[in-house]
Amino acid sequence: MGSTSRAAAFAAAVLQAGLSGALAREAAPADREVAGKVDALLARMSLEEKIGQLTQIAGGAFPPGNKPEEALRRGGAGSVLWLNDTRRFNELQRVAVEESRLRIPVLFALDVIHGYRTIFPVPLGMAASWDPEVEEKAQEIAAREARAAGIHWTFAPMVDIARDARWGRIVEGAGEDPYLGAAMAAAQVRGFQGPTLGAPDRLVACAKHFAAYGAAEGGRDYDSVYVPEGLLRNVYLPPFRAAVEAGAGTVMSAYMDLNDVPATANRFLLRDVLRGEWGFQGFVVSDAFGVGNLVAQGFARDRRDAARRALAAGLDMEMASGAYPEHLAALVRDGAVTMAQVDAAVRPILAVKMRLGLFNRPYVDESRVAQVLATPGHREYARVAAQRSMVLLRNEGAILPLRRSLSRVAVVGPLADSRADTEGSWMVFGHVPAAVTVLEGIRNKLGPAARVDHAPGPDIRRDVPSFFDQFLPGRRKPAQTPAEADAAFAQAVETARGAELVVMVLGELANMSGEAASRASLDLPGRQQELLEAVVRTGKPVVLVLVNGRPLSINWAAEHVGAILEAWHPGTEGGNAVADVLFGDVNPGGKLPVTFPRSVGHAPLYYARNLTHQPEGSPMYQSRYWDGPTTPLYPFGYGLSYTTFTFSGLRLERPEVRVGETVGVSVDLENAGRVAGDAVAQLYVHQRSGSDSRPMRELKGFRRATLRPGEKGTVRFSLGPAELGYWSTRHGKWVQEPAAFDVWAGGDSTAALHAELTVTP
Ligand code: BGC
């Protein structure tokens, strides 16, 4: 074999293992032991008991009249969700393990998305840290708290790539990029689950929503997705694959139609890709009511057809809709579903319960809960996570950091003192917000010597109420009358006028992003823009702190407000962390995990687009809007610091490599300012020609590093088949091709420092 074909064979092998092939996993002895026990149990189960394991039911007061005991007593449910009550967990578990025939324990599931009692920044904020270690540690703490409270399984991480800021669920994921998304997905799985499924004090993770939910047309939640296979493989699937490779025990199917086949009954996704190619050994749960929805989606004829087709496609556990218990037994008796299909779905569910040790230790120790929840250490870490998630978007004339000698500050805006909105979405299950608000954080920082006034201004609210608000009775105030809103407006401006400096805390309520929270505008909702302009007109220096769950089109602020800090919904310690950053105890180092468009009309806007035939910047460039710039307001990867970093000396170990080989890339980095700070070195590549057109830039490496003033460092990356290969539409498979590549390194996705790499056959 000549060296060229050797290299090609090697490349093929690497690609097979690294990018496309099934992960051939040898069953470990422990796996074999579990498999043996599962089979022994399965042999004793009736068809109805098997179907019970495939059934997840609600455990709380929703839906009204719910009686979970009845189902558990007859072995009619394998898992319970939407319950968050430690004593009730034990009560229900007791029914399952003491009153049901086979004593199979229940798996308790809940959405523990960004913390359980100690709340971390929303996932989009966590991704803005560009720090997978912090994400891992945060989810480890979330797991410890939730497990102590009796929860076994979280419906997280949400790893949907989202490129359309109108989509409310953009807040739940890591943003627009598959490389950053994959890193955050894997980190979260490690954090939730620990080194192995069943590790003490951890949860089972669930990568959701499989797949491409984030590409909903028009950014409308649950709407159809049309994504060609190349885009699916190159962009939407990598975070799922990373979660599976990190050992995620479960996967949740998405609601929507993917290329006209609902994800809930999508054999290509659930069988061919997930199990066939990736070797996933866990189980798949539908999204809530997903199987029943197949009828509404115009796919299944009726619920019986829905149950049959979902199971056949590889959907193991049905969440909440009840079509499996209604129809599977008859389907088996009629020969439309085989017992082997049912067994194959039950096996991984029993295996997860065994790995968790639930057969030996089904109960939770109620006396331990209080001592585990919200320990000072957990809160302290929530503060660190929030500090690291913040992105400084603007700082004209170095208005930040603020002087601690300020004697009179106004903290203005509807989000300045709202605990629930400081914590963000997904707090629906009996969680009492314990957040430190931005107002409190600033008061804590300045102490009694300073006067810190507050005025919320007019309320903001959704025009169409959120479905989830019904679970948060009393949390939302009654609507203001126009006269009350005017008075609140005037009072806010007055409060600002009396201060030396104004901190405006504006953005979105928690229920304005998240599920069923899409928007047709990306402007500041309500009268916030008007209030901001009125306060700026007072001539007082203004710092804008954004509390929100999606990119906002803050063009006016980006020109007229001195400093803008993107704080996201920063969690339990959010207000303290904001104050730490505003007053310079912490130098912000977060970077945007998502592009900020100038207007909603630009959505979807993301950096990794393909080139057009007229290069951007040329007079012929017409792939633009004539009524404004096409560039983002803030690009992906962007974020300022109180210091300045310079990147230099981008170099490749060798300018030429063969297909299948890996080359080292280094870039030097210097803190050229007077304070310590964090930079995120980012590496981007572009394949100049090939079988398919490739995006003009793709992130292929990043590292967050702390440097003292004047300190220099070198960041090393490597580029190999995983970074240089892609799934080719022309070939219908993963390829790595000989081609010229552009390589850039720097502090955001517009990095100019450039090198060339040639990949030869
Ligand atoms: C959401 C899922 C969630 C599930 C259970 C659904 O409405 O789409 O993300 O995990 O409910 O609460």
- Nearest Cα residue to atom 11 of ligand 1: 288
Q: What is the dihedral of CA 255, 339, 48, 297, to 10 degrees?
A: 20
Mutate to test the pocket of ligand 1, among 167, 222, 287 (most ligand atoms within 8 A of CB): 287
Residue 26 confidence (pLDDT): 52
- Nearest Cα residue to atom 8 of ligand 1: 287
Which residues are CB-neighbours of 243 under 8 A, at least 6 positions away?
A: 157, 159, 185, 186, 188, 189, 205, 207, 251
pLDDT digits (tens, 9 = 90+) for 97-137: 999 999 999 999 999 999 999 999 999 999 999 999 999 99
The answer, yes or no, to whether the previous bond of 401 is cis (omega within 30 of 0) is: yes
- Nearest Cα residue to atom 12 of ligand 1: 111
Q: How confident is the model at residue 633 (pLDDT cuts 50, 70, 90)?
A: very high
Residue 22 confidence (pLDDT): 37
Q: How confident is the model at residue 470 (pLDDT cuts 50, 70, 90)?
A: confident
516 vs 1, more confident: 516
Distance CA 614, CA 297 (A): 41
- Nearest Cα residue to atom 4 of ligand 1: 288
pLDDT digits (tens, 9 = 90+) for 235-269: 999 999 999 999 999 999 999 999 999 999 999 99
Overall average pLDDT of the 194-218 stretch: 97
Question: Which atom in ligand 1 lies closest to the alpha carbon of residue 208?
Answer: 9
Residue 475 confidence (pLDDT): 67
The set of catalytic residues is 287
Rounded distance from Cα 172 to ligand 1 centre (Å): 11
Residue 172 confidence (pLDDT): 98
Distance CA 382, CA 137 (A): 10
Overall average pLDDT of the 702-708 stretch: 98
Residue 484 confidence (pLDDT): 98
DSSP 225: B
623 vs 599, more confident: 599
AA identity, residue 637: G
Closest CA to 659 of 4, 119, 156, 2: 4
Rounded distance from Cα 155 to ligand 1 centre (Å): 7
Residue 432 confidence (pLDDT): 83
pLDDT exceeds 50 at position 389: yes
Closest CA to 165 of 502, 523, 448, 462: 523
Residue 344 confidence (pLDDT): 98
Question: Which atom in ligand 1 lies closest to the alpha carbon of residue 255?
Answer: 8
Rounded distance from Cα 314 to ligand 1 centre (Å): 19
Residue 482 confidence (pLDDT): 97
pLDDT digits (tens, 9 = 90+) for 192-205: 999 999 999 999 99
Dihedral sign for Cα 639, 644, 648, 651, please.
Answer: negative
SS3 218: helix
Query: What are the two backbone dihedrals, phi and then psi, of residue 747, each rounded to the nearest 5 degrees?
Result: -95, -5
Q: Which helix (H) or strand (E) holds 109?
A: strand 107-110
pLDDT exceeds 80 at position 586: yes
pLDDT exceeds 90 at position 10: no
Residue 12 confidence (pLDDT): 41
Mutate to test the pocket of ligand 1, among 111, 170, 250, 291 (most ligand atoms within 8 A of CB): 111
Overall average pLDDT of the 318-341 stretch: 98
Mean of all residue pLDDT scores within the chain = 94
Rounded distance from Cα 426 to ligand 1 centre (Å): 10
Within 13 Å and on the Cβ side, how many CA atoms surround 544? 29
Closest CA to 603 of 682, 524, 680, 550: 550
Question: Which atom in ligand 1 lies closest to the alpha carbon of residue 155?
Answer: 10
Question: Which atom in ligand 1 lies closest to the alpha carbon of residue 172?
Answer: 9
pLDDT exceeds 60 at position 5: no
Question: Which residues' Cβ are closer than 6 Å to ligand 1?
Answer: 111, 155, 208, 287-288, 515
Q: How confident is the model at residue 2 (pLDDT cuts 50, 70, 90)?
A: very low
AA identity, residue 474: G
Residue 614 confidence (pLDDT): 85
pLDDT exceeds 60 at position 19: no
pLDDT exceeds 60 at position 3: no
Which of 51-55, 175-179, 371-375 comes out lowest in average pLDDT?
Answer: 371-375
Rounded distance from Cα 554 to ligand 1 centre (Å): 30
- Nearest Cα residue to atom 10 of ligand 1: 155
594 vs 17, more confident: 594
Q: How confident is the model at residue 412 (pLDDT cuts 50, 70, 90)?
A: very high
Share of residues in the chain with pLDDT > 90 (%) = 89
pLDDT exceeds 90 at position 594: yes
Q: How confident is the model at residue 427 (pLDDT cuts 50, 70, 90)?
A: confident
Which residues are CB-neighbours of 25 under 8 A, at least 6 positions away?
A: 279, 281
pLDDT exceeds 80 at position 23: no
Question: Which atom in ligand 1 lies closest to the alpha carbon of residue 252?
Answer: 10
Overall average pLDDT of the 277-285 stretch: 98
Q: Which helix (H) or strand (E) holds 471?
A: none
Which of 3-12, 695-704, 735-744 comes out lowest in average pLDDT?
Answer: 3-12
Rounded distance from Cα 118 to ligand 1 centre (Å): 21
Query: What are the two backbone dihedrals, phi and then psi, of residue 472, each rounded to the nearest 5 degrees?
Result: -125, 60
pLDDT exceeds 50 at position 339: yes
> Which token pair is 523?
């402007």
Rounded distance from Cα 156 to ligand 1 centre (Å): 10
Which of 320-329, 626-635, 722-731 comes out lowest in average pLDDT?
Answer: 626-635
Q: How confident is the model at residue 27 (pLDDT cuts 50, 70, 90)?
A: low
Overall average pLDDT of the 647-667 stretch: 98
DSSP 695: B
Question: Which atom in ligand 1 lies closest to the alpha carbon of residue 206?
Answer: 10
Mutate to test the pocket of ligand 1, among 153, 221, 289, 319 (most ligand atoms within 8 A of CB): 319
pLDDT exceeds 60 at position 157: yes
Which of 18-27, 647-656, 738-747 comes out lowest in average pLDDT?
Answer: 18-27
